[in-house]
């Protein structure tokens, strides 16, 4: 078969890609992963017994909305990175702004607190386990997001994997917040950020191979 004939045949059989296919796949991944992450958290850790009471405290909502905002910003990045030729643009602001706000709150609280109380504000009671717990709770969303990306067309697989990890980490941290007893901004400014970042690092490493065309 001549080259021109082959090109004509391929062009004739080409069909348009369905619109919003990337968004649908990623939303499906979230619909699958989020309930599994919640069930995992409930099974291993359980909800706070005083959850209804702490829901009236402003810092509970700050701690909850902080990872939710990161997950939303990372979703926008993943959705763009899953399509060839689409620039991330300012989607990264959805990640940077929540972190900077929480770091600002943490810095203000540390400066305002007596020197002898500052270590406790950072370490809390669960610093040894918080980062790993968030990463484990994020695992179902992480796996579902990578599977969804595998069926799309990311041209920067490591970056796409990292963004998927941030999305999963943010979702995992938000779900874990329903169990966590820590409410000090310096605590989650350090350990929640690390817990969210861990899936991002793993996602970059896995994505560089798993998501490669």
At 118 the pLDDT is: 95
Cα gap 210→151, rounded to integer Å = 11
Say what percent of the chain tops pLDDT 70. 90
Beta-strand ranges (E) seen in 39-191 are none
Confidence of residue 16 (pLDDT cuts 50, 70, 90): very low
At 7 the pLDDT is: 46
At 13 the pLDDT is: 45
User: Is it the case that residue 144 has pLDDT exceeding 60?
Assistant: yes
Confidence of residue 204 (pLDDT cuts 50, 70, 90): very high
What is the mean predicted confidence (pLDDT) over 40-48? 95
At 177 the pLDDT is: 96
More confident residue, 17 or 76: 76
Q: What phi-psi label fits residue 35: left (phi over 0), alpha (psi between -120 and 50 degrees) or beta?
A: alpha
- 78 touches 162 (CB < 8 A): no
The set of residues, in sequence order, having a beta carbon less than 8 Å from that of 188 and lying 6+ positions away, is: 63, 66, 102, 182
Q: What phi-psi label fits residue 46: left (phi over 0), alpha (psi between -120 and 50 degrees) or beta?
A: left
CA dihedral for 56, 100, 125, 142, sign (positive or negative): positive
Residue 28: CB atoms within 10 A of its CB come to 13
Say what percent of the chain tops pLDDT 90. 73
More confident residue, 145 or 82: 145
User: Is it the case that residue 9 has pLDDT exceeding 60?
Assistant: no
Confidence of residue 183 (pLDDT cuts 50, 70, 90): very high
pLDDT tens, residue by residue, 70-125: 999 999 999 988 888 777 777 778 889 999 999 999 999 999 999 999 999 999 99
């Amino acid at each position: 078969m001549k080259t021109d004939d082959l090109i004509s045949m391929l062009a004739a059989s080409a069909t348009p890609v369905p619109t919003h296919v990337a968004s649908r796949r990623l939303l499906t991944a979230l619909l699958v992963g989020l309930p599994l992450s919640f069930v995992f958290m409930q099974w291993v850790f359980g909800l706070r017994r005083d959850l209804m009471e702490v829901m009236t405290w402003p810092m509970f909502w700050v701690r909850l909305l902080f990872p939710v905002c990161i997950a939303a910003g990372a979703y926008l990045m993943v959705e763009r990175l899953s399509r060839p030729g689409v620039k991330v643009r300012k989607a990264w602001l959805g990640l940077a702004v929540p972190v900077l706000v929480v770091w600002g709150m943490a810095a203000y609280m540390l400066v305002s607190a007596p020197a002898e109380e500052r270590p406790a504000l950072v370490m809390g009671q669960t610093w040894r386990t918080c980062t790993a717990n968030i990463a484990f709770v994020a695992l179902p969303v992480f796996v579902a997001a990578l599977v969804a990306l595998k069926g799309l067309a990311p041209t920067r697989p490591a970056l796409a994997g990292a963004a998927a990890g941030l999305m999963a980490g943010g979702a995992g941290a938000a779900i874990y917040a329903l169990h966590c007893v820590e409410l000090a901004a310096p605590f989650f400014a350090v350990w929640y950020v690390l817990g969210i970042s861990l899936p991002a690092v793993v996602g970059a490493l896995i994505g560089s191979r798993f998501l490669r065309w």
